[in-house]
Amino acid sequence: MPHADGAVISGHAPASTVSTSETPAAVVAPQRRSHPVVAAVRDVDLPGWQRVLAVVALSAVAYSASYQQILADAIAGSRATYLVVVPLLLAMIATGYRSTPRGVSDSESDWIIATLLGVAGMTVIHLLSARAESLAGLWRLQLLAIVVWLACAVAVMFGVRHTVRMWALWVFAICFATPLPFILATAGLGGSDLAYGLVTATVGAIAVFLAGRCTTVRRRLVAAQGCYAAAGAFVVFAGDHVGRLPTVLVAGGLIPVAATVLLARLAKASNPVAAAPTHRSLPRRPLTSLAILGATAVALLATTPIAVRPTTMPTIDANWADRADLTAPTSFPFVTDFLGPQSTLVRYDLPGSAVVPAAAVDVMTTPDPAALDDFADAVWYPTSRPLDYRPITGPSVPLGARVIHTNADAATDGAGRDWYAVTWTWRAGALNQRVTVVVSQTIDGDQTPPAPQPLSLVHTAVRPALWVARQQPSADGTVDPRVSQRATQVMSLFAPPADVAAEAPAGD
pLDDT tens for the chain, residues 1 to 508? 444 444 444 444 444 444 444 444 444 444 444 444 444 445 556 666 778 888 888 898 999 889 999 999 999 889 999 999 999 999 999 988 876 666 556 678 888 999 999 999 999 999 999 889 999 999 999 999 999 999 999 998 888 888 999 999 999 999 999 999 999 999 999 999 999 999 999 999 999 999 988 888 999 999 999 999 999 999 999 988 898 999 999 999 999 999 999 998 888 787 665 555 555 567 777 778 888 898 999 998 888 777 666 656 788 888 899 888 898 899 999 999 999 989 999 999 999 888 899 999 999 999 988 999 999 999 999 988 899 999 998 888 888 899 999 987 665 455 558 899 999 999 998 899 999 999 999 888 788 999 999 999 999 999 988 888 876 666 677 888 999 999 999 998 885 544 334 343 444 3
Helix (H) or strand (E) holding 236: helix 217-242
- Please give the Cα distance from 235 to 46 (Å, whole number): 42
CA neighbours within 13 Å on the CB side: how many for 26? 1
Q: Answer for the pair 500, 157: CB distance below 8 angstroms, yes or no.
A: no
Three-point CA angle 481, 482, 486, nearest 5°: 120
Instruction: State the pairing for strand pair 431-440/419-428.
Output: antiparallel
- Please give the Cα distance from 390 to 484 (Å, whole number): 14
Helix (H) or strand (E) holding 425: strand 419-428
- Please give the Cα distance from 160 to 118 (Å, whole number): 13
- Non-local (6+) Cβ contacts of 421 within 8 A are 381, 403, 404, 405, 436, 437, 438, 439, 449, 487
Phi, psi for residue 81 in degrees, rounded to 5? -60, -30
Helix (H) or strand (E) holding 124: helix 107-131
> What three-state secondary structure class fits 331?
strand
Instruction: Give me the residue spans of the domains in the chain.
Output: 39-303, 312-505
Buried b vs exposed e over 199-219: b needs ≥16 C-beta within 10 Å? bbbbbbbbbbbbbbbbbeeee
- Please give the Cα distance from 283 to 148 (Å, whole number): 21
Comparing CA positions, the residue from 452, 205, 192, 435 lying closest to residue 331 is: 452
